A and B are shown apart, each in its own frame.
Chain A
Amino acid sequence: MLKYPSKCSNIKDKIQTDCDLGELSTKLISDILSDLTTLKQAQIYGVLNNNFSDKKSIEENINIFAEQKLNIGGANNNETNFCSGTKHNYPKTCAQLQKNMKKFEKALNQLKIIDVKKLLNQASSKTKDQKICLKSAENPQNFDSLFCNLFSSLETEKALHPFINQIYNELLWYMLFSTYTHYNLSIQRDPTNQTLTELSYLKTTPLNIITTTNLTLKQLAEIESTYAFHVGMLAYQEDLLWLRNNYLSKVVTPFYTLFYKVQDVQIQK
């Protein structure tokens, strides 16, 4: 349910005169950009649905993430999938990823504009088919632009580009509207105090929105380029510990014991 000033949300009122459109449009764009960036960040962390209580579903998301971002295991392969593959798996890294993903549960439930359930319906199966966005681009009527712009980064060569285009597209409409409204208000002969305040708001706030958007995109780009490496390193660490506990400990410990016993002989005091 959208919560905006009653003067703006009640259609029976005179929206044109009573509603502060500058403030309303800024609130709307803030909510849109906030929803989009939250969803994108969740996607970077591997979230593909909002069913956080189903462990199997979360593990499936992690398996897809590991296959597509790290090229580890196969999401559909019972022997090699990341979380519970029978031949080799990474339970500790998987648990850490689950923790990270669950932190988005509250954020996704608090989105104001975008309906997560609709957006993420069948998202896992859609994401497995990496060409789904390319296919639907050839058929514009069925092209799910929001889903593809948010989740198409799994096509690695595109990275964040579709998402950044989406964000600046929204920002462009907002800037057009705020400039248009600002112009209309500024040509009034005897502006009221309310109009002057709105004018001032329209002059300063778009700059804040642009600055905030740029900063947020920069942060997302950093997360996007580093998170996969981080997960890769966690998996590498788990492999090292596994190797040490199962094999190396039988060799390394006696070797070091011998080294410490004979080191005094080697070092001339």
Chain B
Amino acid sequence: MFKSKNNLTIQKPFLKKTKKSDFLVYFSLIILACGTNIALGFNSNAFSLSPTKKLTQQLDLMQEKAINQLQTQYLTSQQITTNLFEKNLKAQDSQFEISASLALKQTADIIKKNYSCSLNQEEIASFLYINDPTFKQYIKKANLNDNSNNNNTDNVLRRDNIAKACLKLSKCISPQNLNTLSISTCTQIVLDAYLPIQKAAQDQQQIQIANLGSNKYLNGEN
């Protein structure tokens, strides 16, 4: 310890003299200091990423993520449906199409169960087109969108389908009988199977309309 000119106590220097061995000590200390600096991120190009650099990068990533979230969290879809009524009406029609297709399938299943007879949906549709105005209306509407149809050809095909289906039914119901069932009997068989299904579908639609969504957990809706 010694006193300076201003009488301040100053600690003695650690090394008083400079020797060759001291020079080596200083040099290694300088190297160490540089290494520490590098480790602290003052010179990032020298070695692999330092802990501070990693932290900074993590911080940047977090901030970028936060900014992205801020910029996008309230954005909605770019698609805006502008003609809601038309689209809903089309969806309603397609729903009817699905239920009509389902009714045809169920009718085919009932006939198969009752008479062990496999009628395809086209054959059943041919019976219905002629005898059920609602079904005819649906087919007409569907055909309006299809310009390639030809009404006369379609009618011939339908009658052909009906004749084939009636022959099938005759073979299933009374295979021993040489006379085929009349067309009116075949029609009655198909309608007996189809009409209850159609009525159930209509009832369901009326329940939906009566509810208007207010009691959607009742009557089997979900």
Contacts and interface: CB of A to CB of B under 8 A. Distances in A.
Contact of A237 (B73, B78, B85, B96): B73
Contacts of B74: 230, 233-234, 236-237
B28 interface: no
A211 B133 CA distance: 22
Interface stretch (A33-41, A48-56, A135-143): A33-41
Q: How large is the interface on A (under 10, 10 to 19, 20 to 34, 35 or more residues)?
A: 35 or more
Interface size grouping (class) on chain B: 35 or more
B55 interface: yes
B209 A211 contact: yes
B208 interface: yes
A175 to B, nearest CB: 12
B205 to A, nearest CB: 6
Contacts of A107: 82-83
B173 interface: no
Nearest to A26: B89
A210 interface: yes
B195 to A, nearest CB: 14
Nearest to A204: B134
A208 interface: yes
B158 to A, nearest CB: 14
B213 interface: yes
Interface in A245-269: 253, 256-257, 260-261
Contact of B80 (A103, A215, A218): A103
Interface in B85-124: 85-86, 88-89, 92-93, 96
Contacts of A260: 55, 58-59
A172 interface: no
A100 B75 CA distance: 11
B133 A208 contact: no
A219 B91 CA distance: 14
Contacts of B70: 237, 240-241, 244
A119 interface: no
Contact of A100 (B80, B96, B136, B206): B80
A214 B216 CA distance: 14
Interface string B188-222: 00000000000000000110110011000000000
A197 B137 contact: yes
A111 to B, nearest CB: 10
B213 A218 contact: yes
B82 A210 contact: no
Contacts of B67: 241, 244
> Considering residues B78, B96, B134, which has the most beta carbons from chain A within 10 angstroms of its beta carbon?
B134
B80 A214 contact: no
A239 B208 CA distance: 45
A241 B74 CA distance: 13
Nearest to A102: B80
Interface in A166-184: none
Contact of B133 (A37, A199, A212): A199
Nearest to B212: A214
A96 B75 contact: yes
A207 interface: yes
A3 B209 CA distance: 30
B80 A219 contact: no
Given A107-B83, A196-B133, A261-B55, A207 B88 contact: no
B21 interface: no
B75 A219 contact: no
B85 A106 contact: no
B71 interface: yes
A89 B80 CA distance: 25
A216 interface: yes
A220 interface: yes
Contact of A216 (B58, B85, B136): B85
Contacts of B133: 196-197, 199-200
27 contacts: A34-B83, A34-B85, A38-B83, A42-B82, A45-B80, A104-B82, A197-B137, A200-B134, A204-B137, A208-B96, A209-B89, A211-B205, A211-B208, A212-B88, A213-B85, A218-B213, A219-B88, A230-B74, A234-B74, A237-B70, A237-B71, A241-B70, A244-B67, A256-B59, A256-B63, A260-B58, A261-B52
Given A200-B134, A211-B92, A212-B85, 6 more contacts: A38-B85, A200-B133, A201-B137, A210-B209, A211-B208, A234-B74
Q: Which 3 A-B pairs have the closest CB atoms?
A: A200-B133, A107-B82, A34-B85
